[in-house]
Amino acid sequence: MTQRVELATVMDRLAVDGLITEYAVAVDDGDWAAYRGLFAPDGRADYRSAGGIEGDAAQVAGWLTRSMELFPMRQHLIVNRRVRFGHLEQDTGDTAHVQADYINPMRFAGHDGGSTAPDFVCGGRYAFALVRTRDGWRLSEVVVQEKWRRAPEGLTPDRHPSSAT
């Protein structure tokens, strides 16, 4: 490999890593316009393993908007990122795949404030597919594979005390 190719690979890796970080920040901050902007025009996301939906970025952003109202505090961390570059139309480096683990502590809305511990924590693995576009790297697919979740007994997203009737 020449130094020029190695430098380009490092720059791509940093850009891909930055995009994954922007994804986490957009979800945690509830910036759904930024979230949609991270995707390629035909980009899709699949949150079904976490009780969500599968669809294009706009559909999923709408679902996240409603779902995340339950959790005004969220801070999910994406770690152990494994990046692999691929080929598109015989050009090296036009696609990338990232497999990364996540942990996501969240606090339910209306919490009494007595505890600093999150009300709900889940973890799992992301599979990100990315494509190089004219605007830089964008997500072509996000698949969430939730592996575990923990909430206080009787307190789950579908049984939140403030939504009980």
Measuring CA to CA, which residue among 110, 122, 115 is closest to residue 75? 122
More confidently predicted of 155 and 120: 120
Task: Record the pTM.
Answer: 0.85
Topology, domain 3-155: Nuclear Transport Factor 2; Chain: A, (3.10.450)
Angle among Cα 94, 40, 136 to the nearest 5 degrees reads 50
Cβ 145 vs Cβ 123: under 8 Å = no
For residues 51 and 104, give the distance between their C-alpha atoms in angstroms, rounded to a whole number. Answer: 15
Neighbours of 100 (CB within 10 A): 19
For 5-27, the pLDDT digits (tens) are: 678 889 999 999 999 999 999 99
Res 4: pLDDT: 67
